[in-house]
Structure 1
């Protein structure tokens, strides 16, 4: 092959490589933006799919943690790709500067930039639609959760005391009964104990001839 043709082919190959690297860099940066926005707003992209048959609260919490961990690892992955692309773009740009005159190089970079921006706008619109859908989905889930909580807040418990007898209890008696069988009343003070002792002695004296009280 003619050396001049070989040089032209080499120049075209390097220019095309620079374009592909620039496009990949734009896509990578937009994916980092998309995933970072999801993480910042606690949104889970559709590509993250974790399922479990366990419906317990602990299982749901573990699934949420797993999804967030997946998303963080995805962001790290794209940052690694971005750094690698940066090195490749730097080397390719240096190679282009050796193959082309600076005016030609400026023209190539300008053309590539226009094409990359057009591709970036199209991809941004797609990712932005996905974000809006995720925000809408999150809003509907929050609304359902709020509705469930509202329904739960209207729940009323049955009365703790249901009187099935013909006896009417006073309010103070009902208060005592509502405490339950395990309730331990507070200790009586000394004056009440003394009065109780006197009343008991009076009852015993009045009933000292009653056989029922002989064993007391």
Structure 2
């Protein structure tokens, strides 16, 4: 439908805009009504299905329907996205480079592994560590898959009545037969070699201060740098643990402020507090690789009280707040970052000032290693697929449409670095993942489920494939 007006007077243009807005609102109202009716029908259908068929049959049917809905929704989404891009291009002919802004599409990521020791590590060991400290080696074999099938068989034998077991077993057998488990324990052997070298040479393997880079440090160098950091800032060693004394002081302070803390509905003290722990992370992006002290206050006596008081801090000018914070301790100084070349980074976005308009682009710190969950890690496949799709959804929502194509190229490079197949990335990034996840909200008919006596719960181990 197209609304037009032959009269070009200002009043006619305003009337035309008002008519377009009214038409859009009516269209949205119509589609919202259709959506609500569909949800109601889905709820009724869901309740009937959960009562009439077994859980295994319902799961198979649910998966098939959701897949069809996802494909149909994606086609609709692509059509609407093309229309939206056309509207954006017609309304705003903005060029990103017109104000000397350079996107970070071709950014080179920081090294994933840095060795500050003289100990030699083989190429296979470095490649394994490049997958990150959270990488889980695949230690499952074909024998494990057979054992998994046995566990499933035992679980299905609990189903009542017995005549329903054959259907569930056939469905599970079909799924297990499609599983592909590599009988490969090389990564486990390599991991043992790394641990052995670290133990024999007294090494510390830790992540860097920024960027998630894996670093090798001599334990002696780590301790010397950390102790030097403490000595240079005039820290003193206490002869006793002051935790209990500090806990008493916190309780006393809370009791002395009834007016300020009277509205708090949760306890401000920690049960069984412990002394905060200090550790250090190497600053690989700075000269001579200094250490950054990290104090873990997770179980400190004043943790909850500090969080509450922090939420009550008044807002003020940047200079005033900085001066106030930095006046407490000369060794504890805060800094503030201001925009450079009409842009400033904040978390994982860069805010760009372009005339009177603010636009956002995806941002990575210079120390970022670009590491995410490796594709070969022993994690469920849906975690890896969701990582790609959700990363794309997040990036596209955070960035202006003029940067979307560059961000997709950058995402593809990043996940290729993490071992993801290019064919899979083309499917997720260039096709299906461009649409937001399609969710069908259905409420369980709990009364019908409770009355069913054939619902049996069983626990089986996770196995990839």
Q: TM-score range by the shorter chain?
A: 0.3 to 0.5
Question: Which of 1 and 2 has greater Rg?
Answer: 1
Give TM-score scaled by structure 2 length. Answer: 0.19
What's the TM-score once normalised by structure 1's chain length?
0.41
Structure having the higher helix fraction is 1
